[in-house]
């Protein structure tokens, strides 16, 4: 007859509820939670560094400020185009509103924009493969 | 065998661990975004462009016809937009015109006098352009002296 330890058997007791769990599955459960947590943190770090490594924010800044300077120094009647497939990346969208230039590079969705001070009326036309800015 | 109290304690410990890991993650991400942040400074170029726009407004073709500018409204007279970042000071024919916060002069002096280390706050250095333009004021030759300061965009 094989001897067994008393701790291997679930104990029944009246008055208080006692949870009986085998030790090995409890350890596995804990390890699994830790692995998931570490994986989540790694995914967060990866997403954050990927954005910095691609330097999209720098390209966006360069584009917005260059366009704002163009608009500031332009005279009425001038117009200039910005190619969508630019050396600074693919310009996925562009907006000119409330006295600011907003440029979105490689699928960005957020932009603080950069202000221009030109007194002339500025309009933006979106065409196939390029953006046309007119100063009137 | 785990009692109910012990299970509750383990849950509390797990919450504490998650909060600690989240805090460390936020600190590391925050510090990396600050360290790798890059700010392109075009304020000097803006100051130069603005000074030329003001002179073209005040003296089209180099001749001043009319100078009925309200006190402290030089940029408004020239229909310049988004004037909050600018301080301009112009003197011509013994008259002085300006608009904006003259505190920009103090900030610029802070960066240029070299008494304190400003490398960490270089992104807040105002753009500056000072120029003189010879013009005809009425029938007399005169000079427009113009100082333009451009502050950091908030």
Instruction: Write the pLDDT tens digit of every residue in A23-76.
Output: 667 788 888 888 888 888 888 878 777 766 667 888 899 999 999 999 999 999
Query: Which residues from B are below 8 Å from A19, CB to CB?
Result: 1-4, 7
Give the three-class secondary structure for B101: coil
Q: Tell me what pLDDT residue A18 has.
A: 47
Does any CB of chain B come closer than 8 Å to the CB of residue A13?
no
The pLDDT confidence band at residue A81, using thresholds 50, 70 and 90, is very high
Beta pairing class for B127-137 and B63-64:
parallel
Does any CB of chain A come closer than 8 Å to the CB of residue B7?
yes
Q: Tell me what pLDDT residue A8 has.
A: 53
pLDDT means per 10 residues, chain B with 154 residues, are 65 81 82 78 94 93 86 91 91 91 84 74 86 91 94 80
Report residue A110 as tokens.
């957020």
Q: Tell me what pLDDT residue B52 has.
A: 94
Q: Would you say B37 and B122 are in contact if contact means Cβ atoms under 8 Å apart?
A: no
Alpha carbon distance A64, B42 (integer Å):
11
The pLDDT confidence band at residue A17, using thresholds 50, 70 and 90, is very low
Instruction: State the smallest CA–CA distance between residue A96 and chain B in angstroms.
Output: 14
């Amino acid at each position: 007859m094989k001897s067994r330890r008393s701790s291997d058997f679930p104990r029944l007791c009246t008055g208080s509820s006692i949870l009986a769990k085998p030790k090995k599955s409890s350890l596995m459960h804990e390890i699994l939670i830790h692995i998931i947590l570490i994986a989540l943190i790694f995914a967060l770090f990866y997403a954050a560094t990927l954005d910095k490594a691609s330097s999209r924010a720098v390209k966006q800044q360069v584009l917005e400020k260059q366009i704002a300077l163009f608009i500031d120094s332009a005279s009425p009647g001038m117009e200039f185009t910005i190619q969508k497939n630019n050396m600074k990346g693919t310009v996925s969208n562009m907006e000119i509103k409330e006295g600011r230039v907003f440029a979105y590079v490689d699928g960005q969705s957020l932009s603080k924009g950069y202000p221009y001070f030109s007194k002339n009326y500025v309009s933006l036309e979106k065409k196939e493969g390029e953006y046309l800015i007119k100063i009137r | 065998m785990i009692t109910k109290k012990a299970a509750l304690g383990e849950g509390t410990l797990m919450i504490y661990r998650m909060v600690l890991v989240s805090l460390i993650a936020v600190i590391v991400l925050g510090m990396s975004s600050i360290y790798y942040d890059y700010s392109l400074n075009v304020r000097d170029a803006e100051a130069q462009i603005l000074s030329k726009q003001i002179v073209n407004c005040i003296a089209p073709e180099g001749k001043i016809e009319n100078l009925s500018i309200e006190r402290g409204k030089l940029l408004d007279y020239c229909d310049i937009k988004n004037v909050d970042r600018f301080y301009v000071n112009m003197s011509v024919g013994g008259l002085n015109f300006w608009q904006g916060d003259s505190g920009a002069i103090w900030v610029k002096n802070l960066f240029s006098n070299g008494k304190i280390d400003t490398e960490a706050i270089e992104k807040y250095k105002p753009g500056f352009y000072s120029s003189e333009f010879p013009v005809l004021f009425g029938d007399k030759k005169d000079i427009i002296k113009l100082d333009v300061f451009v502050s950091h965009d908030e």
